[in-house]
Structure 1
Amino acid sequence: MMSTILLQRSFSRLLCRALLLGATALISACGSLPGVKEMPATYAFKVDPSGDLAKIVTASTPPGEHSGFRLMPLGVYSLDTRLELARRAKSTLDVQYYVIENDGAGRLLLRTLKEAAQRGVRVRLLVDDLHTARTERLLLALGATPNIEVRLFNPFCCARDQLAGRFVASAFDFPRLNHRMHNKLFIADGVMAVAGGRNIADEYFALKAAQNFIDMDALVVGQVMSELTAIFDAYWNSEEVYPVASIVQSPDARALIASDFDDAVDMAGPPTRLDLPPTDVLGYGPIGEELSAGRVGFLWGRAMAVADPPHKLRSMTEAEALATSVTMRVWGQLLAAESEVLMTSPYLVPGEKGMAAFEELRQRGVALTLLTNSLAATDEPLVHTGYVRYRLRLLQAGVDLYELSPARTIRNKRPGLFGSSLGRLHAKTAVIDKRMMFIGSVNLDPRSATKNTELGIMVDSPQLAREMLRIINISRLENAYRLRLVGTARTIEWLTVDDDKEVVLSTEPESSWFQRVYNRLLGTFVPESLL
């Protein structure tokens, strides 16, 4: 399931597979996008200060503060926060995601959006089209609801029932389709937002039995909200976006109506109740309690929201896209570090320029700690081969390097953090000099830099940085292997502690012989530009 959901860096591999599976259908399946689309531009409403959420923000904001944040390391709290905002919104909900899955979490959120629209809330829902094969009819039926408009980013033209068929039918349009919207953003009444790394699917909220992602979101208020609403409007009205009804057709040529959506999500029955622990690892309780009390506790700082333009690579060269990307803005903050950098990146392929930047930081005496996925933890083995190319150099440069252990996340006893499942890192975060924090959708890999659009928030706040450091340290010290060089400094060992006893491993932990050989062979032939 994981390899199906997160394909943003595997387009070339998928295209080859699709061509092999469906070459005979190529001629009959080919088509094109609508030449004319009826899609009037709409923009964020002016904030209504009399709305419930606006009043809560006013009551929660100390004089003179810029932007407020509540970190949400606990997946189920993060989902609950989106639901609470949707249920309390009075005027608008603007929702933008790379993935909304047709599973428990996805249907619950979409149902809650419809319930808001039935109260008169205007809902604008924007979804990247790569992973909509399972959800497109649900989205089409939802769009039949008054006050809801659904749009698709960079859609496939036809043969939409399966991902392979989509690529076959659009084989000659690959350069366009290789550009995906990886942003994650949820805005309520223009005054509160949820931003970070989570898509909308069970595994991002620790609701699956087998495997879940370790991820991070933040509840956001304050002055940075105007930047986030402007980012959403830019995407919503971009040339890359199409109304869902102009792309998706019902299987029996019947116009899907609102009742089709109701049947799919069981609107007649009670909504799913989330099992919420009393507190998370930072000591916060469920956000609904504070919203009901009329005041929410935030940590404050000066913040800046940044996003790639929706036309990234459509009207820009790759060099221009890289130079203006969110990735380069993150690198700019990293290179300004004076004492230390701690980062989490599930897909860590720095490239030669990134590697040179890491080496420069170390030469200046900046302590550098990186946490990424182990071979056993990654859902993208292909990308892991790119990371392995730089792993030895990272250690030789003096980087403190950690790889997440799926088995150790199972044994972690912190309530609700990972469920009882294998953990895979998905959080994209950084803390610089114990005061500058980054949270967003950006991976340190070639696809985030030059192919996908990304969104992130930079915050100058020692208090917020301290909380993020605590979360990162839980993952690296309790759920990861620490890597070190031995012997001739070209041999790597993985260290962990079990029952207060140090364990030293000399091969990729928790991986099979086949996995290791397969990845070693694969890494020989796959160019870094495809990762």
Structure 2
Amino acid sequence: MSHCLEEIHEAQVVAAGKAQGRWLRRFGPFAGSAMAAALLTACASLPEPASRTPSQALADTAGTRLGRALAPGQAQHPGQSVFYPLSSGPDALVARLALARGAERSLDLQYYIFDGDLTGKTLLAAVVAAADRGVRVRLLLDDLHLSGQDRELAAIDAHPNIEVRLFNPFANRSARWLEFATDFRRLDRRMHNKSMTADNQLTVVGGRNIGDPYFSASTATDFSDFDVLAGGPVVPQVSAVFDDYWNGAASYPVASLMPAPADAQAEVQALRTYLDEHAAEARGSDYARELLDSGMAQALEGGKVPAYWGQGSVIADQAVKVTLPPEDNSSHAIPKLVHLLDSAQRELALVSPYFVPNATAVDWLAGMARRGVRVGILTNSFAATDVSAVHAGYAPTRKALLAAGIQLYELKPSAYAEMAHEGHRSLISKSRASLHAKSYMVDRHLLFVGSLNLDPRSARLNTEMGVVVDNAALCTQLGAALDERLLDVAYKVMLEPDPAGGEPKLVWVTRDNGLLRTYDSEPDMSVFQHFGQGLLRLLPLQEEL
């Protein structure tokens, strides 16, 4: 499974039979079943719900090390939560490692993708080490990207302090492609949430999956992403979302889906040995040195993590969303997010890698612009996106948005090269940039950070979550940083009048080496790719994007 795929985008790959395992390769690749065997097992069914035992986040954790560290600040800011932005990949990984190493009672992890690459194994090693210390670990993963990894999942689950559950899993573990073809309506609904919570005291929520592209450790694609580390009253809200999914009907214990290891103790020890070997090898890497030099690592070492205090809340889909018809929005997060965004009086800044507004959304944004709200949108350019079909769904809306007075920017694939002299880019990653952050800012004091894209798939099919931060200082800082370099890292899409009085045409304006440059055709798009985009726009994919 390519690191690049994210929304329906993956579903189409699986349906085409191209899905591959992405976890620990200790036991060799998935070999696949013969067609006859696949047909015989196509009718595999999921186990009865009685096989899952409910559990909840721990409530009495104020006396933990993390709880004691937060107590003085909470006493000074009663009822408020504390937030620390995680803009860089190394900072985001260091924060997660710090949670795993600081946990004393519990770790709850909920992820759409958890790769078995450099960063994935590094985090897994820290999680297993926490379990070895007696920390209760609950690991909830979407099953879409876990093809061929059952033995590894069973080994992790065999640890006495770790339980693994899979969300909306494939019943047929050996012929997933066939089940996808026969049960598409169910398997098309995925859990896109991303959170990691330690001791119900500190949490990381945002847009990052677990894998090298999300932490600036990849040499192929470097996802520009954003998370927040949070503490205070917002954390139990995140834990409540986790519990809803963990105990929901769509989450199945690994033990109910696959055979337990014949010798569980030996499998767990083999897992430890494998992760220890990885850790020893990784310590001497350039990326490990970059982690030690990261701003987050330095702040933690000096005990001076910058704190932004303010009201915090969670916006999340209910887990039951995947069992209800897509048109039933009673469990959806989107209406709550729209209500938040609609409160803008002066400025609305939207950052979404997959931005596919339907006609209603275009009219809504145009209405905001008409009432005087300055609306700015940053999404991926064609060359930066990892999903061509999404660009094909978005591109036809550009002229209507621009005609309504909305400012539209598209990230350049060379964005990190443009920022290198400012120290914003990983020294390790030599890859192209691709926007992956989902953050929405209202009047420079309200900020949503999470997994929710502004596209039909996030709205109707997948489950999503995020946190809302009310802090003007944080929003002003983030907004100013984006404004300062936006024209360097992105194309500003504009309408240019036709001198002959015809329809205005699109142009792309950017700044290269301090000089403005204008493109009168889509940058980095060949004639063949332009033709391909035209074909994609003819396909009935809108609701799947």
- SS of 2:355 mapped into structure 1: coil
Partner of 1:109: 123
Question: What is the letter of the counterpart of residue 253 of structure 2?
Answer: P
2:45 alignment counterpart: 32
Distance 1:205 1:47 in 2: 33
Q: Which amino acid aligns with 1:398?
A: G
56-65 or 175-184, which moves further after superposition? Answer: 56-65
Matches within 5 A, 1:7-406: 7-12=7-12, 14-15=14-15, 24=35, 27-30=39-42, 31-35=44-48, 37-61=50-74, 62-64=76-78, 66-133=80-147, 135-160=149-174, 165-249=175-259, 257-267=267-277, 270=280, 272-273=282-283, 274-276=288-290, 285-286=295-296, 288-291=297-300, 296-314=305-323, 316-321=324-329, 324-406=331-413
Distance 1:123 1:313, change over 3 A: closer
Distance 1:136 1:320, change over 3 A: same
Residue type at the aligned position of 1:71:
P
Instruction: Judge conservation of contact 2:416–2:424 (CA < 8 Å) in 1.
Output: no
Separation in 2, partners of 1:3, 1:186: 21
Match of 1:436 in 2: 446
Look up the match of 2:6. 6
Deviations 1:417-449 (A, max 9, x none): 354321100000011111111100000000000
Find the aligned partners of 2:520 and 2:34 in 1 and give their Cα distance. 44
Distance (Å, rounded) in 2 between the aligned partners of 1:23 and 1:263:
33
Q: Structure 1, unaligned stretches of length 5 or more?
A: none
Pick which of 511-520 and 305-314 moved more: 511-520
Q: Distance in 2 between matches of 1:270 and 1:317?
A: 49
Are 1:458 and 2:468 matched, yes or no? Answer: yes
1:240 deviates by 0.6
Q: Of residues 402, 419, 423 in structure 2, which corresponds to 1:415?
A: 423
Alpha-carbon contact 1:22-1:168 (below 8 Å) kept: no
**TM superposition shift of 1:302:** 1.0
Overall identity of the aligned pairs, in %: 35
Aligned counterpart, 2:27:
none
What TM-score, normalized to structure 1?
Answer: 0.91
- Give the superposition deviation at 1:416: 4.8
Partner of 1:505: 519
Q: CA deviation at 1:456?
A: 1.0
Cα distance in 2 for partners of 1:271, 1:145 equals: 24
Q: Name the SS of the counterpart of 1:276 in structure 2.
A: helix
Cα distance, 1:91 vs structure 2: 0.6
| AA matched with 2:229 | L
Structure 1 residue 126 displacement after superposition: 0.5
Tell me the CA shift for residue 266 of structure 1.
3.6
What residue identity is the alignment partner of 2:78? Answer: G
In structure 2, the gaps of 5 or more residues are 20-31
Q: Give the paired residue count.
A: 518
Deviation of residue 210 (structure 1)?
2.3
- Summarize deviations over 1:13-54 as a string: whole Å, max 9, x none: 6425679x9995552341221235532111111232221111
Aligned to 1:527: 541
Q: Say if 1:346 and 1:378, in contact at 8 Å, map to a contact too.
A: yes
CA distance in 2, matches of 1:499, 1:437: 31
For 2:511, the aligned partner's letter is V
- Residues in 1 aligned to 2:515 and 2:4: alpha-carbon distance in whole angstroms: 38
Contact 1:404–1:424, Cα closer than 8 Å, also in 2: yes
**What is the CA–CA distance in structure 2 between the aligned matches of 1:292 and 1:279, rounded to whole Å?**
11
